[in-house]
Amino acid sequence: MAGLAELIEASGEPDKLINQGLCGRFHDRATLNIDGDVGISVFDSQSFSLPFRMEMMERHPHGSQAFLPMQQGAYLVVLAEDDNGAPGVPQAFIATAGQGVNIGRNVWHGVLCPLSDPGLFMVVDRVTDGPNLEEHWFDTPYIIQENPKEMPGEQPAKAS
């Protein structure tokens, strides 16, 4: 699902050391692509468990969304290519502690699914008034199985 989302994490060597060498800066880990004003919000979601019944996916045509966990738990990320204005076959991944994800503009994705409590996330996205949400409800829900791959994942989780 390369190109649909960017994994945000501090991995490898930092790009530079700052604060008298006491802090590694992992520079420019995601590209925000947003029409209008950008803001930082905090989401507090109920946790979910696997298997997960996915009845709907959404997308935001006017901006990307960066989800940055404020807790140490894993969370489910479900993405899909566009297929003539509707989501294609969903692919599911587990983002682990210390990983954020920046979902691209107009990319179909599942709802925020923390797999433990608390489900606290900082979200950087468009805060300008006006419509920026499209939803697609499936005639037959997908069931996300127990073993999705870790982000960025080479293979999709089973979706049936």
CA 38 and chain centroid, separation:
17
Give the pLDDT confidence of 87-121 residue by residue, as tens digits: 999 999 999 989 999 999 999 999 999 999 999 99
Give the pLDDT confidence of 43-71 residue by residue, as tens digits: 999 999 999 999 999 999 999 999 999 99
Query: Residue 159: inside a domain, yes or no?
Result: no
Task: Please confirm whether the linkage preceding 87 is cis (ω < 30° from 0).
Answer: no
CATH code, domain carrying 122: 2.60.120.480
Using alpha carbons, select from 93, 40, 37, 107 the residue that is nearest to residue 70: 40
Give the pLDDT confidence of 5-35 residue by residue, as tens digits: 999 998 889 999 999 999 999 999 899 999 9
Query: Residue 13: inside a domain, yes or no?
Result: yes
Q: Report how many domains make up the chain.
A: 1
Query: Residue 160: inside a domain, yes or no?
Result: no
67 close to 93: Cβ distance less than 8 angstroms: no
pTM (predicted TM-score): 0.86
Relative to beta strand 65-69, strand 108-109 is: unpaired
Burial 72-93 (b: 16+ CB within 10 A, else e): ebbbbbbbbeeeeeebeebbbb
DSSP 6: E
Structural domain range at position 89: 5-150
Query: Residue 157: inside a domain, yes or no?
Result: no
Query: Residue 11: inside a domain, yes or no?
Result: yes
DSSP 153: -
Alpha-carbon distance 69 to 120, whole Å?
A: 6
| Concatenated DSSP letters of 32-63 | --BSS-EEEEEEEEPP--SSEEEEEEEE-TTB
| Concatenated DSSP letters of 71-105 | SS--EEEEEE-EETTEE-S-EEEEE-TT-EEEEPT
Vertex 134: Cα angle to 130 and 89 (nearest 5): 155
